[in-house]
């Protein structure tokens, strides 16, 4: 397919709804799109084919394979679990070290599950969980299991107090699968420093039981923002008002209030095409967060809430949360069609703004996990699309550029996260079971 710069499509579908257009990506890049485009950031150049057929990168960049699922072993001797997904790199105890907490999106019965070690297991019948990986730049130092007995740990998010919130993308119960002993669809807190000292893994039930994708925490207020990757009906965007905001490891167990996002008159967000479209947001209380009899997303009548097609990654940067909608297909019957959106939620203004849109028919599609580069605050996206899959970086004008290509397979990228010092970008080639470290001439603008 030819390269297409598809960030803006004419026609917003907003006429008569009272919505406004602002300076596109200026809120993250420090100026309006029109001002930033002429001399701003336009990617790192085209990709050079990798002779080893693992990762294609721009000139001057290089990679190292840190680990291989099913081949490498954990410190306790078991094979490294498969399907690595969301992750985050925390500062290590030593100056140049980083500690990655890495999800494994495994279903019950999976080969090479996360081992069920004392103190980290939720349900003996489940195979998913997390591993904690200590690295020094591009060098692997150790890998250990840190959460087990969960299902389809997809993405998640870091907290201001240095823990990882691992999200189950499922709603399975023992009634659905006889191997299970507990209900699933929760968020679990994993502490890379081991401060929780639990006898078993503890689900954060107040954060809801649904097909969780990712979570971001406002470091000023402690409010959590969560995404749901679900259909029939589409998933929602949530916020959680904790009873003990910013209370440190384990504080979310005190409970709080779960709410769903609503934009008046907007059934779903797929209709919008114009960068800078800004919508006022309200929040609606969730009647039964634990989905005792009815899935959370089915508890709202009519257009009481606004739905999102494939709500995926979410990441906090500066004063906002950046939220990914992976795609909206023509066959889905939605209001609009796209191959990816990124929305900025600004809690101070109570608005969401469209800052990236990928139109159908071009080179890139299916953004999933998201992070923000420390170099000029560029959005970096990990694709889970059709055909070739890329890590991409967003330019100052909202244009999407290639950063890396999975040359090993058509499998998705996941777990994209920068090292604390910004030198390395870590990412998972999920189907291939690879965790990869990338470095190069990162540059500020």
The domain segmentation of the chain, as residue ranges, is 47-439
pLDDT value of position 28: 53
pLDDT of residue 39: 67
Among 439, 419, 386, 342, residue whose Cα is nearest residue 25: 342
* Greatest distance between any 2 Cα atoms in the chain: 63
pLDDT of 376 reads: 87
Dihedral angle sign, alpha carbons of residues 172, 176, 177, 181: positive
pLDDT at 20: 42
Q: Let me know: does 325 contact 340? Beta carbons within 8 Å.
A: yes
Residue 317 in 3-state DSSP? strand
Structure tokens, 361 = 């028919």
What integer pLDDT is reported at residue 95 of this predicted model?
A: 81
Task: Supply the DSSP symbol for 335.
Answer: S
What's the CATH fold of domain 47-439? Neuraminidase (2.120.10)
What pLDDT shows up at residue 332?
81
CA distance 402 to 364: 8
Q: Is 0.75 surpassed by the pTM of this model?
A: yes
* CA-closest candidate to residue 287, choices 211, 184, 172, 208: 208
Please give the Cα distance from 283 to 260 (Å, whole number).
5
Tokens at 47, concatenated: 């990709």
Dihedral of alpha carbons 379, 326, 266, 10, sign: positive
Residues of the chain with pLDDT under 50: 1-27, 29-37, 445
Region for residue 255 given its phi and psi (left: phi exceeds 0; alpha: psi -120 to 50; beta: otherwise): left
Predicted local confidence at residue 178, as pLDDT: 98
User: Which tokens is 253 given?
Assistant: 């167990």
Sequence-separated (6 or more) residues with CB below 8 Å from residue 140: 66, 67, 133, 134
């Amino acid at each position: 397919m030819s390269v297409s710069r598809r960030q803006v499509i004419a026609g917003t579908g907003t006429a008569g709804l009272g919505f406004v257009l602002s300076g596109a990506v200026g809120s993250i890049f420090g100026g309006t799109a029109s001002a930033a485009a002429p001399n701003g950031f336009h990617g790192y150049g085209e990709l050079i084919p990798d002779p080893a057929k693992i990762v294609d990168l721009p000139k001057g960049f290089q990679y190292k394979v840190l680990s291989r699922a099913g081949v490498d072993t954990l410190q306790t001797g078991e094979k490294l679990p498969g399907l690595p997904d969301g992750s985050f790199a925390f500062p290590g105890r030593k100056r140049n070290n980083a500690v990655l907490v890495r999800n494994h999106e495994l279903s019950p019965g999976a080969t090479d599950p996360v081992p069920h070690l004392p103190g980290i297991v939720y349900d003996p019948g489940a195979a998913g969980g997390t591993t904690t990986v200590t690295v020094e730049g591009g060098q692997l130092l150790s890998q250990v299991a840190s959460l087990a007995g969960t299902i389809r740990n997809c993405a998640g998010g870091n907290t201001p107090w240095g823990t990882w919130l691992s999200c189950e993308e499922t709603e399975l119960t023992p009634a659905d699968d006889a191997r299970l002993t507990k209900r699933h669809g929760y968020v679990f807190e994993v502490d890379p420093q081991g401060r929780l000292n639990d006898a078993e893994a503890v689900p954060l039930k107040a954060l809801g039981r649904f097909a969780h994708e990712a979570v971001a925490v406002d470091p000023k207020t402690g409010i959590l923002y969560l995404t749901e990757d679900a259909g029939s009906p589409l998933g929602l965007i949530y916020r959680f008002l904790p009873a003990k905001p910013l209370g440190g490891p384990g504080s979310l167990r005190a409970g709080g209030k779960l709410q769903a996002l609503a934009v008046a008159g907007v059934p779903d967000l797929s209709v919008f095409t114009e960068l800078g479209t800004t919508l006022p947001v309200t929040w609606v209380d969730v009647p039964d967060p634990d989905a005792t009899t009815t899935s959370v997303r089915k508890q709202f009548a009519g257009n009481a809430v606004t739905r999102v097609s494939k709500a995926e990654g979410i990441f906090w940067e500066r004063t906002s949360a950046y939220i990914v909608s992976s795609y909206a297909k023509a066959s889905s019957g939605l209001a609009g069609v796209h191959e990816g959106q990124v929305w900025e939620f600004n809690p101070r203004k109570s608005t969401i703004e469209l800052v990236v849109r990928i139109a159908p028919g071009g080179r890139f599609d299916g953004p999933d996990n998201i992070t923000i580069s420390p170099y000029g605050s560029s959005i970096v996206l990990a694709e889970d699309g059709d055909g070739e899959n890329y890590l991409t970086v967003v330019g100052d004008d909202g244009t999407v550029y290639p950063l890396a290509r999975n040359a090993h397979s058509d499998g998705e990228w996941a777990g994209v996260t920068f090292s604390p010092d910004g030198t390395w970008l870590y990412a998972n080639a999920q189907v291939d079971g690879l965790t990869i470290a990338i470095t190069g001439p990162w540059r500020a603008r």
